[in-house]
Amino acid sequence: MVALAALSAPAAAQTAAPSTGAVTLYGVLDLSMTGTHRDEEGSSLALQSGVQSGSRWGLRGHEDLGGGWRARFQLESGVVANTGRSAQGSRLFGRAAWLGIDSPLGDLRLGRQTSVSSAVLADFDPFLASYLVTGAQTSLQPFNANRNDNTLAYWTPSAGGWRAGVDYSFDQNEPRAGSATRSKVMSAALVHEGAAHAVTLTVERADWGPGSPHDLGMQAADGSAKPYAVSLAARGKIDDLTLYGAWSLMRHGSTVPAIQWPGQSVYYPGSTVHGVMLGGAWRVGAGSVLASWQASLPRDGGALARQDATHNQQVLSVGYAHDLSRRTNVYAVLGHMIGAWHDAGWRETQYAVGLRHRY
């Protein structure tokens, strides 16, 4: 990270009292060789960006307003590092673009940002809701990073280890010319953090605007409903071992339908899917050994029953990340998927060996 010195305004314009602040340039570059093997299609290899952490660059800063109040902002741009293209649909600041106030009364942010629910849940997975299919976002769809436009978010101050957050997106994606359709997304999280443990309860709900792409996707699945998800997750640390557990109830579809994992669906009006994950991370010297088991369990009823897509899917994952320095590390992960919602005999394996640098 690099701090940028602010340029001084002309002396004649300095009519206000001086304030303190800072702007930081930061980023991540993450590249790996990844492989996929599926019985009916064979194997493939590719160079891929962002397996451990999405490649990015950004600016964040703050200004001290006095009395414990600060103005804060973040502008973050996703990068597909193996091609140099912008990520998130080629947006300039597709990962984050928000302005806010941090005070003794809490943290208020306005703009494009990750939902409070998915931002919290990533810390309750040994694979940090990343690393291809090994992350918990595969079976527990609310763990996927849900970045929404036009969002107002608020976090309470921490009291006795407890804090709560809520957000509301007035228009989940940028408006389309000539269309009054607006898709709205809201989420909330309650978190308790102790010295060696943490627990969270989150909820996320989407209301797809009539005629929007996601509404049309629901209609194509023979129904129309407002998807929602409830998640409960916990972690605990015993010496160098951290254990994780999570459960999600997903109803009517994913609240992040732009991300679809192999062997699943994102639109399932009238159907319920349960997701569960158990895992651990063991710190050994300069490295961490990672492992997890997760499963998505569609229930009978609704669109999935009509499509005969109620088979369980399991994911077995192992990995290792090793620090070469404070900012650079290497990693290797492997995830094996057993079963698809539509085919109990389906199998897929994904693996990656990569290098990540943070600055």
Report pLDDT digits (tens) over 133-150. 999 999 999 999 999 999
Per-residue DSSP letter, 250:
E
Q: What average pLDDT does this structure show over 8-14? A: 40
3-class secondary structure per residue, 79-104? EECCCCEECCCCCCCCCEEEEEEEEC
The contacts of residue 265 (CB under 8 Å, 6+ apart) are 221, 253, 303, 304, 307, 309, 341
CB distance 285 to 237 below 8 Å: no
Nearest to 185 by CA among 117, 280, 284: 117
Residues found in the chain: 359
Using pLDDT thresholds of 50, 70 and 90, give the confidence band for residue 4. Answer: low
Using pLDDT thresholds of 50, 70 and 90, give the confidence band for residue 10. Answer: very low
pLDDT at 6 over 70: no
CB distance 106 to 271 below 8 Å: no
pTM for this prediction: 0.91
Q: Which two tokens stand for residue 65?
A: 């307003």
Q: Is 19 helix (H, G, I), strand (E, B) or coil?
A: coil
State how far the Cα of 230 lies from the Cα of 190, in Å rounded to an integer: 12
Give the whole-number percent of the chain exceeding pLDDT 70: 93
The pLDDT assigned to 7 comes to 38
Q: Is 188 helix (H, G, I), strand (E, B) or coil?
A: strand
Q: Which residue ranges form the domains of the chain, and what is each CATH number?
A: 22-173+183-358 (2.40.160.10)
Q: Which two tokens stand for residue 193?
A: 């953090």
Give the whole-number percent of the chain exceeding pLDDT 90: 84
The contacts of residue 206 (CB under 8 Å, 6+ apart) are 172, 183, 184, 185, 214, 226, 227, 228, 255
Least confident of 18-22, 174-178, 295-299, 352-356: 174-178
